[in-house]
Amino acid sequence: MDWLQLLVFPAIRALILIFVLLTGFAYLTWYERKLLARFQVRYGPNRAGKFGLLQPAADAVKAFFKEEIIPNHVDKPVYLLAPALALVPALIIWAVIPIAKGTPAIADVGIGFLWILAVAGIESYGIILAGWSSNNNYSLLGALRSSAQMVSYELPLGLFLVSILILAGSFSLVELVEGFRPWWEWIWLWLAFPFFFICILAETNRSPFDLPETENELVAGFQTEYGGMKFALFFIAEYVNMISTSAIMATLFFGGWKGPFADQYIWLGPIYLLIKVVILLFLFIWVRASIGRPRYDQLMKFCWQFMLPLSLVYVSVSAVLAVFLK
Q: Which residues bind other proteins (CB under 8 A)?
A: 33, 37, 40-48, 52, 54-55, 57-62, 65-69, 215, 219-220, 223-228, 231
H/E element, 119 = helix 112-133
User: Considering beta carbons, is residue 24 or 45 the nearer one to other proteins?
Assistant: 45
User: Considering beta carbons, is residue 57 or 312 the nearer one to other proteins?
Assistant: 57
Would you say how long the chain is, in residues? Answer: 326
Q: Is-contact 213 223, C-beta < 8 A?
A: yes
Q: How far is the CB of 203 from other proteins (least distance, A)?
A: 23
Burial class (CB in 10 A: 0-12, 13-18, 19+), 20: middle
Burial class (CB in 10 A: 0-12, 13-18, 19+), 110: middle
- Cα separation, 176 vs 111, whole angstroms: 11
User: Considering beta carbons, is residue 55 or 172 the nearer one to other proteins?
Assistant: 55
Q: How far is the CB of 3 from other proteins (least distance, A)?
A: 41
Q: How far is the CB of 236 from other proteins (least distance, A)?
A: 14
Strand-pair category, 103-104 with 98-100: antiparallel
Q: How far is the CB of 153 from other proteins (least distance, A)?
A: 24
Q: Is-contact 285 239, C-beta < 8 A?
A: no
User: Considering beta carbons, is residue 173 or 237 the nearer one to other proteins?
Assistant: 237
User: Considering beta carbons, is residue 171 or 231 the nearer one to other proteins?
Assistant: 231
**Of 200, 72, 80, whose CA–CA distance to 129 is shortest?**
80
Q: How far is the CB of 133 from other proteins (least distance, A)?
A: 14
User: Considering beta carbons, is residue 53 or 300 the nearer one to other proteins?
Assistant: 53
User: Considering beta carbons, is residue 41 or 323 the nearer one to other proteins?
Assistant: 41
Q: How far is the CB of 78 from other proteins (least distance, A)?
A: 17
- Cα separation, 88 vs 49, whole angstroms: 31
Q: How far is the CB of 57 from other proteins (least distance, A)?
A: 7
User: Considering beta carbons, is residue 136 or 152 the nearer one to other proteins?
Assistant: 136
Q: How far is the CB of 52 from other proteins (least distance, A)?
A: 7
3-state SS class at 104: strand
DSSP bridge partners of 100: 103
Q: Name the E strands within the chain.
A: 98-100, 103-104
**Cα torsion angle, 204, 179, 115, 312, sign:** positive
**Of 92, 146, 87, 100, whose CA–CA distance to 116 is shortest?**
92
Q: Is-contact 232 63, C-beta < 8 A?
A: yes
